């Protein structure tokens, strides 16, 4: 990783931990575990996911969905609950200082990334698990409200958040428990060890205010896949992505997370090392397909809820609440709300009868999309722009490729200008391995505006030495077709997504020439195909 990630990596690894829960005197019953974030070391305060506590709730998981339930006291769980927290050596401890001096691996200079400091070696010494007590279970009401709006109602049957594929055998009760606990977290107090307080010091966690990190901003997720299983290997595993979308405190990232990372921290590269959110659900499935996005709960409103709950449950807990990390303010010299990359505003929503998809504005009155979104010339379509301001403009299709064409392109002429949108600059050169971003209305349509996902340019397909198609690792979903693919570094428009590597699809490089065919199961959405509008279309999309 580049130097920009240094502060975020240090903050993530110093704050990351794993939490395990078990029943006293019943080792045969097994244990439950998840990831967590160390908020304070003296005294030890840890925030983790609440899903591991559902087996211990006296009133069952239904207590989490009771009307008006925003928090539960620690004694809502049975007396046989036993908690332990484990973390790695801190930078301030002797083990941490020794580890910093070890020789590690260095990221090579590739795809525009700068060399990073040596990575910490695996198999390093870990702190022994510390006993802990449950102070309270809490949720963010705004998160739950947005979750119900986006994933509830008629959409509920399509979405699946269990830590298993839809076809795996999971009992209905277990899946219901996971869904009820999805937006719940737990505040723990770690009991101090003997003679270790002096060396257990670490920097305070900085918390990013809600809305301070824009769509497309780089994020670093830190969690322990599979929880307490093999922490010497999996503890504080890092995954990089961006903020893909947001609805209040409900955030989505394309950073890859695995079961066990629930409760892990997600940190920003800018503001450097700030805690942005905690993982709520690492795996999301829609219509039985993995969508490649991780569901997050913003940290700032969650900590505000923790302070309020502590004040109501523990009248003398004012000092304890004061130890929770505050939100960062203006002294960082950053605007409270970053508008994000300007190229992302070129993405628009295209509606044609009952069909909708994405598009990209290439001129004030011209939008390029896919033919399968707007299939016929002279068809009336509605184009919606969400940034910098919301607008709805009618237009009609002036060009659409034939179904037999290897290209899937349509051009829409608008009745009015799209104001305030910087028009993208088409790329002239394509570099395999460069960082790229897809902006589209997949997954949520117009509900949350466009989503941003990132990856690299995996391959450039050429015919007669002319680039005709690109392959990327960006997560692309139904509804993203026709949206723009940008170079993350330069902001140049590279092409528009046309689809995913999908079973029973046949792609043709030239009319009548099959050049790729697959009937394999759909292991998507990490292989996406992008078309490059041909040079013969230039007269159509060139501003007049």
**What positions carry a catalytic annotation?**
372, 408, 481
Bridging pattern class, strands 294-298 and 347-352: unpaired
Phi, psi values for residue 13, rounded to 5°: -75, -30
| CA 27 – CA 520 distance, rounded (Å) | 43
Residue 538, SS3 per DSSP: helix
Count the neighbouring beta carbons within 10 Å of the beta carbon of residue 220: 24
**Is residue 261 within 8 Å of 278, Cβ to Cβ?**
no
Using DSSP, how many helices (H) and how many strands (E) does the chain show? 8, 30
SS3 (DSSP) at 184 = strand
What is the four-CA torsion angle of 481, 216, 488, 223, rounded to 10 degrees?
-100
Inter-residue contact 1 to 256 (CB < 8 Å) = no
Residue 153 backbone phi and psi in degrees, to 5: 65, -135
Q: Are 51 and 181 in contact (CB under 8 A)?
A: yes
- The rounded distance, in Å, linking the Cα atoms of 371 and 359 is 11
User: What is the separation, in whole angstroms, between the first and last Cα of the chain?
Assistant: 44
Q: Which two tokens stand for residue 138?
A: 């809490």
């Amino acid at each position: 990783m580049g130097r920009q990630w240094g502060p975020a990596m240090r903050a993530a690894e110093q704050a990351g931990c794993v939490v395990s829960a078990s029943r006293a005197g019943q080792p045969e019953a097994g244990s439950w575990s998840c990831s967590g974030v160390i908020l304070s070391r003296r005294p030890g305060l840890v925030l983790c996911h609440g899903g591991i506590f559902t087996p211990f709730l006296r009133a069952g998981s239904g207590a989490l969905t009771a009307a008006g339930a925003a928090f539960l006291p620690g004694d809502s769980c049975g007396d046989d609950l036993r908690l332990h927290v484990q973390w790695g050596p801190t930078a301030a401890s002797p083990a941490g200082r020794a580890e910093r001096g070890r020789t590690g691996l260095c990221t090579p200079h590739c795809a525009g990334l700068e060399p990073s400091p040596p990575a910490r070696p695996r198999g390093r010494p870990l702190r022994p698990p510390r006993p802990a007590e449950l102070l309270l279970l809490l949720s963010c009401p705004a998160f739950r409200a947005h979750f119900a709006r986006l994933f509830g109602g008629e959409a509920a049957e399509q979405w699946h958040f269990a830590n298993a594929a839809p076809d795996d055998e999971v009992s209905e009760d277990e899946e219901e428990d996971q869904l009820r606990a999805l937006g719940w977290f737990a505040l723990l107090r770690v009991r101090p060890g003997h003679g270790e307080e002096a060396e257990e010091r670490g920097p305070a966690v900085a918390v990013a205010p809600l809305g301070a990190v824009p769509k497309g901003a780089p994020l670093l997720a830190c969690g322990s896949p599979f929880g307490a299983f093999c922490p010497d290997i999996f503890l504080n595993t890092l995954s990089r992505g961006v903020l893909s979308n947001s609805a209040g405190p409900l955030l989505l990232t394309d950073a890859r997370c695995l079961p066990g990372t629930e409760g892990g921290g997600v940190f920003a590269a800018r503001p450097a090392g700030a805690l942005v959110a905690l993982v709520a659900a690492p795996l999301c499935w829609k219509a039985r397909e993995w969508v490649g996005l991780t569901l997050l709960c913003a940290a700032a409103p969650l900590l505000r809820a923790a302070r309020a709950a502590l004040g109501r449950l523990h009248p003398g807990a004012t000092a304890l609440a004061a130890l929770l990390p505050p939100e960062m303010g203006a002294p960082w010299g950053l605007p409270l709300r970053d508008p994000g990359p300007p190229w992302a505003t070129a993405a628009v929503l295209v509606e044609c009868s009952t069909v909708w998809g994405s598009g990209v504005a290439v001129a004030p009155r011209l939008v390029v999309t896919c033919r399968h979104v707007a299939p016929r010339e002279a068809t009336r379509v509605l184009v919606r722009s969400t940034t910098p301001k919301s607008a709805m403009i009618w237009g009609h299709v002036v060009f659409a490729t034939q179904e037999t064409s290897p290209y899937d392109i349509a051009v829409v002429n608008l009745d009015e200008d799209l104001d305030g949108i910087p028009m993208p600059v088409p790329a002239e050169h394509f570099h395999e391995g460069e960082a790229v971003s897809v902006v589209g209305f997949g997954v949520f349509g117009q509900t949350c505006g466009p989503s941003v996902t990132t990856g690299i340019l995996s391959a450039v397909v050429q015919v007669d030495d002319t680039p005709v198609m690109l392959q990327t690792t960006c997560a692309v979903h139904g509804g993203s077709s026709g949206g723009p693919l940008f170079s993350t570094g330069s902001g140049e428009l590279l092409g528009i997504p046309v689809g995913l590597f999908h079973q029973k699809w046949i792609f043709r490089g030239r009319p009548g020439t099959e050049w790729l065919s697959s009937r394999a199961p759909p292991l998507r959405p990490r292989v996406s195909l992008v078309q490059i509008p041909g040079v013969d279309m230039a007269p159509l999309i060139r501003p007049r």
